[in-house]
Amino acid sequence: MTDDRANGPRVLPILFLGVLMGALDIAIVGPALRSLGATFGVGTRGQSAVFSVYVLFALLGTPVMAKLSDRRGRRSVYVADVALFGAGSAIVALAPSFVVLLAGRAVQGFAAGGVFPVAAAVIGDTFPPERRGRALGLVGAVFGIAFLVGPVLGGVILRFLGWRWLFVVNLPMALYVCAAAWRTLPSAGRTGVPRADVAGTALLLAALGSLALGLTALGGGEKGVSPLPAWPFLAVAPALAFVFWQAEKRAVDPILHPALLRPRRMVLVSLLAVGAGVAETGSVFLPGLAVESLHVTPHAASFLLLSVVAAMAIGSPLAGRMLDRAGARPVVVAGVALTAVGAALYAGPWTGMLWFHGSGVLVGLGLSALLGAPLRYVALEEAPARERASAQGALVLFTGVGQLSGSAAVGSLAALRGGGLEGYRFAFGVVAVALALLLPAAAGLGPRRREAQVRERAAG
């Protein structure tokens, strides 16, 4: 452990670049959707699948890669994730058909799902507790930077080189990160690990897949009509989740250990992660609100999100620094409160650019505290060293469930009030109330229990 911690400053740029690759490939592809549609002859729904397939497989890849990291070591799994991401990028770049392109996006997403939880676990292994918040904050800021730079970079590449080059540029970066990670990241895995939890993995993937398909069908399609029936998937998902949980209690080395979610702080963090996912998804509907309230074009409305993204890019490292000084509870309470106030302002009767950008800054600062370092910091404190990546993966799962649920809920709530400005205001009002109800959970994130600290020192 001593050698790993001395290596901390060297691993941070490698983790930063790996996470940046995955984050950029969500933001950078936006400007290319019309070109993709023209190339393969698909409409709006087909183009949206370029995003949804990536997000779904990232959700599926998270628990698998996180558990492999705990079993086989951080270095080998991180390098495998980045290499697999590069392979998926090559498949997309060379795709002769839309089906092959979606297959490449699935490979990319599955690999990207493991990058961030493994990176967070490496930070837990290589940084002392008093410096983890700052390191997590810097890596968390990658997402804000990616969503600031991605659309601009995508537009430039699309203008001069074509959409396939959006994915070709990943290849040299992936090669560099793989080589640097192999030289620098800690390599030790667990010795004498039992056989992999194949049954638990299959059940978890089936439950997540059913939930994702059901919520996507519930919230998708033009005018509320979806090509898939939502309710069969939504009925099967909780049943599969129950069977999975029972199976994990009996598994020798479960993919998601039930003990990880026993501490009170982990329960609260999981609940807050779901709320953070719902709030993050709400920002997807902000361009629609801008069109209705500010009467701008859809193209111009997308640029109005820059206030949210810039606040996230600034707030993530700031939240990390505050963590090291004040602990998790005040930072998370502030994050929930800021996001709730921002959503409430969006729901109010006000209009104008100052109102829109001011609300966006509050939401961005709040989300930087909820999606960045603080919740992951608590998970690193609560999880034993051998299960750090799995605990980070669990947070990603709960955030993903919130994202999927939020997408369906916000769209349905807006439609319930007839859409338009009134519908968006109603939906953001409900999000604000839901976030306000999470304030007691944030306030409950007290300091870590002494007995848990003793167990951690004994396990280390």
Give the separation between CA 308 and CA 360, rounded to whole angstroms: 5
Q: What is the pLDDT of residue 460?
A: 47
Tokens of 388: 């750090």
Helix H or strand E encompassing 193: none
Tokens of 294: 């500010």
Q: Which two tokens stand for residue 392?
A: 């980070």
pLDDT tens digits, one per residue of 179-196: 888 888 776 555 445 566
What's the CATH code, domain 256-460?
1.20.1250.20
pLDDT tier at 31, thresholds 50, 70, 90: low
pLDDT digits (tens, 9 = 90+) for 187-224: 655 544 556 667 777 887 788 777 766 766 655 544 44
- Angle of helix 328-347 relative to helix 420-436, nearest 10 degrees? 160
| Chain position carrying tokens 């599926």 | 60
% of residues, the chain, pLDDT over 70: 78
Mean pLDDT taken over the chain:
77
Cα distances (angstroms) measured from residue 382 to each of 68, 349, 386, 392? 20, 43, 12, 11
pLDDT score, position 406? 74
Tokens at 21, concatenated: 């690759």
pLDDT of 459: 47
> Confidence band (pLDDT; 50, 70, 90) for 436?
very high
CA distance 401 to 429: 21
Radius of gyration of the chain (CA): 21
Q: Which of 160-174, 336-350, 389-403 has the lowest mean pLDDT?
A: 389-403
Reduced to 3 states, what is the DSSP secondary structure of residue 445?
A: coil
Higher-confidence residue of 2 and 70: namely 70
- For residue 449, pLDDT over 60 is answered with no
Closest listed residue to residue 79, CA positions, set 196, 190, 179: 179
Q: How much of the chain exceeds pLDDT 90, in percent? A: 7
pLDDT band at 11 (very low <50, low <70, confident <90, very high): confident
Q: CA 203, CA 261: separation in Å to the nearest integer?
A: 18
Q: Is the pLDDT of residue 7 over 60?
A: no
Does 152 score more than 80 pLDDT?
no
pLDDT for the residue 218: 59
> pLDDT value at position 340?
93
Tell me what the mean pLDDT of segment 114-123 comes to.
80
What's the CATH superfamily of 1-185?
Answer: MFS general substrate transporter like domains (1.20.1250.20)
pLDDT at residue 144, as a whole number: 63
Residue 1 has pLDDT above 50, yes or no: no
Per-residue model confidence (pLDDT) at position 342: 92
Q: Cβ distance 142 to 372 under 8 Å?
A: no
282-312: pLDDT as tens digits? 776 777 788 888 888 766 776 777 788 788 8
What is the Cβ-side half-sphere exposure of residue 70, based on CA atoms within 13 angstroms?
25
Of 314, 332, 323, nearest in space to 395 by CA: 332
CA geometry: angle at 371 spanning 130 and 83, to 5°? 90
Read off the pLDDT of each residue in 161-165 and give the average, rounded to a whole number: 83
Specify the pLDDT at position 91.
93
DSSP result, 369-383: HHHSHHHHHHHHHHS
| Res 402: pLDDT | 80
Counting every residue, how long is the chain?
A: 460
Flag the least confident range among 97-106, 191-200, 233-242: 191-200
pLDDT 10s digits, 389-403: 777 777 777 887 787
Q: What is the structure's pLDDT at 450?
A: 41
Interatomic CA distance for residues 25 and 167, integer angstroms: 8
Band the pLDDT of 339: cuts 50, 70, 90: very high
Using CA atoms, how far apart are residues 400 and 58, in angstroms rounded to an integer? 9
User: Which residue has tokens 């691993």?
Assistant: 11
Per-residue pLDDT tens digits for 252-285: 667 777 777 778 888 888 889 888 888 877 776 7
**What's the start-to-end Cα distance of the chain, in Å?**
8
Q: What is the mean pLDDT of residues 83-87?
A: 91
Give the global pTM: 0.70
Does the structure show a pLDDT above 80 at 110?
Answer: yes
Say which residue, 104 or 15, is predicted with more confidence: 104
The larger pLDDT score, comparing residue 6 to residue 340, is at 340
